[in-house]
Structure 1
Amino acid sequence: MRKSQSIEEQQRAYAERLLLALSEQLGERGVTRVFVVTQEGRPALDVTDCRGRMRRVFVHLPFCWFYWGDQQDERVSFLQMATAVDRIEEAAQAGWAEGEQGDLRVELHKLLDAYRG
């Protein structure tokens, strides 16, 4: 009998499938990318831009986004994969924004802990 996966494991597996599909399509367009898992266990794609700079593309499941920063133009819906591939390819060809990569991750358990204590 197979042990059922936790919600977090199911979400991580779904994020991995999305990123691998994105990776395959970006690869077909000649975009340099590598699938990675961060030290925190988050799946991501390291995508290299036209200047040889790397940004991590993550999945934000609650909002159905691929994102590579915290600015409005640094995210795209994964529900329309072809559009997402186009947008990420365009962003990489134009070059990633200067500065540190912003993060849209919200760790709800930390917010809840702050209100409990």
Structure 2
Amino acid sequence: MTSLPGIAREQELITGLQIHLVRQGVQARPGTGAAGRPCLDVPDRRGVIRRVHINLAFRLYHWGDLPDETAPMAPPEEAARAVAQAAERGWRDRGQAIRLPAPPDHPGYP
């Protein structure tokens, strides 16, 4: 299970991504995923909504299970650009939200 400081950091990063997406004209609403983890609900050009999650252990944002459905966390404006481009193309029907392994809870882990 992710620690409260981990969830707080995820929320901070998700909020930063949301700011950059909105600046690029992309709708992005805050949401809550599994186990109370923060995410963004982002519609594509057809109105299909995908949840964009963050994984601190892998240092990436993800919105599907395919290799091009992820973006590195830094810099946030580049991650927002990748999400915006994917939403503009339209979310793939076959891609599903990915479940990455949970990071170990110990001090010093991102």
* Superposition TM-score tier, normalisation by shorter sequence: 0.7 to 0.9
Residue among 52, 55, 58 paired with 1:57: 52
**Matched length:** 103
Greater helix share, 1 or 2?
Answer: 1
Unaligned runs of 5+ in 1: 1-6, 110-117
Divergent runs of 4+, >4 A: none
Whole-Å Cα distance in 2 between the matches of residues 39 and 70 of structure 1?
A: 16
TM-score by length of 1: 0.80
What is the CA RMSD across the aligned residues, in angstroms?
A: 1.7
Identical aligned pairs, as a percentage? 30
Aligned to 1:113: none
Residue 43 of structure 1, aligned match among 31, 38, 48 = 38
Structure with bigger gyration radius: 1
More contact order relative to length (CA 8 Å, sep ≥ 6): 2
The unaligned stretches of length 5 or more in structure 2 are: 105-110
Length-normalised TM-score, structure 2: 0.85
What CA distance in whole angstroms lies between the structure 1 residues aligned with 2:57 and 2:72?
A: 11
Shift of 1:73: 0.2
For 1:34, the aligned partner's letter is R
**Residue 89 (structure 1) aligns with:** 84
SS at match of 2:36: coil
